[in-house]
Structure formats: C-alpha cells, structure tokens
Amino acid sequence: MENAIRTESIFGVALGNIMELMTIISEIELPVADVQWAADTARASFERWESQQGYYNNRLNSHFKGKLGELAVEKFLLEQKMKLDSHFRFADREKLADLVVKINGYKKVLRLEVKTWSRNYWQDLGRCISVDQFPDLKKKADVIIWCVTDASGVLDKPVPVKVILAGWSKLDEVAKAPIRLTGLDHMRKVENYQLAETDLHEISSLLDGVA
C-alpha cells in the first residue's frame, strides 16, 4: 500500500513541474473509520455549540471539515514520529490547542491550531482568522495549520477522504495580514485577517529544528 502522505501542488500539478510550484504541500488520505469518527464527533460538537454565539455561523459541515483537518494533521505528525497530545479528540479540551507536539517530553512544545476549508472556498475565503477570535487563538496556539478538503456528500455516507495540508503560519504573521470583510453574497460577513496563499510556509518545514 502506498504511503498515505505524498507531496504535490494544491492544484494537482505533476511533480515533474515542481520548480514551477508556488507552494509544496502534503496530501493525507483518511480511511473510512476516521471519516466516520469525524462525522460522529462533528454532530456532537454541533449540538454543543447550537445555543452559543460563535465567531462564525454554527454549521455541521464546518465542524465535520474541522475534524477531518485535525485528523489529517495528526496523521502527518505521527508519520514523522512526533509525540503528540491530540486535544481535539476530547470534548472537554476545546479551549486548548488542537494538537501539541512534545519535544523531549515537555521541555519544549509546539501548539498547533488547525483550520480547514472546502476546496471551493479556498481561494476567496481561505486562510482567514476572525479578528475577534485572534486574541483567544494567540493565547493557546503558536502555529496555524491550513488545510483544504472536498468532503461534499460524505458526512452521511463516509468514504475515504483526502485532505491537503496547504501550509502553516505563525500567529504573529496572521496579525500582520490585511483585515478584510469576507463572505460571499449569501453569507454572514466577518472581519478577518486573511493571508495570501503565497504567505504560507511549506508544510514540510513545520518541524525544522523541532526534533
């Protein structure tokens, strides 16, 4: 079986054209069992947030995509033999970073928050962090991992899903991004920091100097 991680461009450009790529990413394939877990956990998370005001609209599909992204980043890091605390797997740890990479026990840690978009919205709405949410993220995370997936029609009928790890950013870099009022015509408009795709660090560099 092929390794679940393979490097390619976000738009599927062949590796032979790698010198022309703006961003190098990793694609993770999640098995049906993981996708089913993401669906079940997303439903529970959606119900918990149903009566609460959030930074964005509370949508089941958004929770589902978020869980898929978190699972993909966890899988990527485990493939790199990293020791992790996967806080996203526990409902009572929602105020903590999604994942924590442990270096030499707890002598050093890298706290990761995962943000995942549908492929259809990545260009216009991707790489956004709500201005109102940023202070809370700054307290709990050091780095944001940006993911992209196409999971339409999968929530109720789980099948293997591929998630693209498009890159990563430091929280300080997010704070320097332009602030835009984003949202398509039918969407609630939200004031966001939005990075350009070319601002992202390659996912392959995430662990440079960490181990």
pLDDT digits (tens, 9 = 90+) for 160-204: 999 999 999 999 999 999 999 987 777 778 899 999 999 999 999
18 pLDDT band, cuts 50/70/90, is very low
- Per the structure, the complete domain to which residue 195 belongs is given by 5-205
What pLDDT was estimated at residue 182?
87
Residue 144 in any domain: the answer is: yes
Q: What is the pLDDT of residues 80-134, one digit of tens each?
A: 899 999 999 998 998 899 999 998 877 889 999 999 999 999 998 999 999 999 9
Domain-embedded: residue 23: yes
How many residues in the chain?
211
With contact defined as beta carbons under 8 Å apart, do 113 and 140 qualify?
yes
In-domain check, residue 153: yes
Residue 61 lies in a domain: yes
Hey, which residues does 180 pair with through a beta bridge? 192
Q: Residue 211: inside a domain, yes or no? A: no
Structure tokens at 207: 């662990």
Residue 210 falls inside a structural domain: no
Residues 6+ apart with CB under 8 A from 49: 58, 63
The answer to whether 171 and 143 have CB atoms below 8 angstroms apart is yes
Number of domains forming the structure of the chain: 1
In the block, tokens 């990793």 appear at 26
**pLDDT at residue 66 greater than cutoff 70:** yes
The first and second tokens of residue 73, run together, are 């980043």
| 209 SS3 class | coil
* Residue 68 CB coordination number (10 Å): 27
| pLDDT value at residue 30 | 97
Q: Can you tell me the distance from the alpha carbon of 202 to that of 165, in angstroms, rounded to the nearest whole number?
A: 9
Q: Which residue from 89, 79, 81, 64 is spatially nearest to 27, judged by alpha carbons?
A: 79
Q: Is residue 128 within 8 Å of 48, Cβ to Cβ?
A: no
Q: How far apart are CA 150 and CA 162, in angstroms?
A: 7
In a domain, 177, yes or no: yes
Residue 65 falls inside a structural domain: yes
